[in-house]
A = this chain, B = another copy of it.
Amino acid sequence: MKIEILNSNEKRSLQKEVIAKVRTLINEKNLEPGDKLPSERMLSEKFEVTRSTIREAIQKLEFYGLLKSIPQSGTFVANIGVIAMNGMIDDILRLEVPNFKSLVETRILLELKTARLASLRRTDEDLIKMKEALDAYSKKVLNNEIAVQEDLLFHLAIARACGNSTMNTFMLIITPEIITNFKKYHVCDDQLAYSAINEHKQIYNAIKEQNPQLAKQKMKEHFKELYRYCYNVNEI
């Protein structure tokens, strides 16, 4: 067993090495769905890393649905097949940290859909929550305060009302990074904020009236400026 004193970058690349080795092991031993991997202790000895490192690598592969740990029993190959496993690990290993453009592009895609779905599926309770978020936003903007948070809460209220928990989860994942980047690149100045009040109201009304086409259309208009802006941002 090796002692490891690493910074976060070294740690990440070590984890990638371990994941690659796990894949090699699965291939060499011809492990199929349901088969058991060697124990964490054995793997840590075989790969000459600490058990913690093994555990974190396994947890990452578990997050992506490729492995399944069962307490007091073992870690098993998930029910998805060796070929898909190999392809997916390839992809996971080469995944890059998302850049701003990629985040915004994905956000717009999701929001056009959640607006449409929300207009079809929203409950009365959803509507109340959206109205609260809408008013909180208007109030702050009219008070000349920064309202990036209230802005995004309105959008998250729509995501919640869309009746699709996967999209809701994805919106939650990208929102904090969007906020951070908005602050970094100074998106959302006063001018945009003022006009956004009316845009929000129109989106809200379309969802209230259960008009999916209109909801999507109004969301699209709302993003028009943002979209243009983000494609001009030069990242470092």
**A interface residue numbers (CB < 8 A to B):** 63-66, 78-81, 83-84, 87-88, 91-92, 94-99, 102-103, 105-106, 109-110, 113, 133, 136, 148-150, 152-153, 156, 159-160, 164-170, 172-177, 179-180, 183
Contacts and interface: CB of A to CB of B under 8 A. Distances in A.
9 contacts: A63-B173, A65-B177, A80-B179, A83-B136, A84-B148, A88-B172, A88-B176, A91-B159, A92-B172
A170 to B, nearest CB: 6
Contact of A165 (B65, B97, B167): B97
Contact of A170 (B96, B99, B106, B152): B106
Contacts of A152: 84
A5 to B, nearest CB: 11
Contact of A65 (B63, B88, B176, B183): B176
A165 B98 contact: yes
B165 A99 contact: yes
B88 A180 contact: no
Contacts of A160: 91, 94
A33 B165 CA distance: 28
Contacts of A153: 83-84, 87
A149 B65 contact: no
A64 B176 contact: yes
Contacts of A102: 164-167
A130 to B, nearest CB: 12
A154 to B, nearest CB: 10
A141 to B, nearest CB: 14
Given A166-B102, A170-B106, A173-B64, A149 B91 contact: no
B174 A79 contact: no
A166 B97 CA distance: 8
A169 B65 CA distance: 13
Contact of A150 (B66, B83, B91, B166): B83
Nearest to A159: B91
